[in-house]
Amino acid sequence: MGIKNDHYTYRVTWSVEDNEYVGLCAEFPSLSWLAKTPEDALKGIRKVVAEVIEDMKRTGEDIPEPIANRRYSGKFVVRVTPEAHKDLAIKAAEVGVSLNRLAAAKLSR
């Protein structure tokens, strides 16, 4: 099972706690997939996202728009490049907070 035109934001990282690679999707921060190789972690998280989207379609839920497909103005109180805005939006999505909250926390350090 896959997603046609899958534009979601995936990340694979090492989990010391699990002693495995973990696949993550920024638009679905509650989902993850553990695997022995980074390739299998990516394959697993993509499969889980596809299954969740199919379930959301069946139940009529709103499906998150891929971060990559969104338009960014490059402005939010402080001007940054559109690329920096996108990177911050991904980080905020991954930790489940608003962009404003993430920026305020980073600026207050």
Domain boundaries, the chain: 10-59, 71-107
Give the model's pLDDT for residue 24.
Answer: 98
Encoded amino acid at 15, one letter:
S
* Mean pLDDT in order along the chain per 10 residues (109 residues): 82 97 97 98 97 96 94 78 93 93 84
Give how far Cα 61 sits from Cα of 41, 64, 98, Å. Answer: 26, 9, 21
Nearest C-alpha neighbor of 49 from the set 107, 95, 91, 10? 10
Token reading at 48: 């889980």
How distant is the alpha carbon of residue 63 from its chain centre? Answer: 13
Say how far apart CA 71 and CA 34 lie, in whole Å: 31
> What pLDDT shows up at residue 76?
61
The confidence score (pLDDT) of residue 42 equals 97
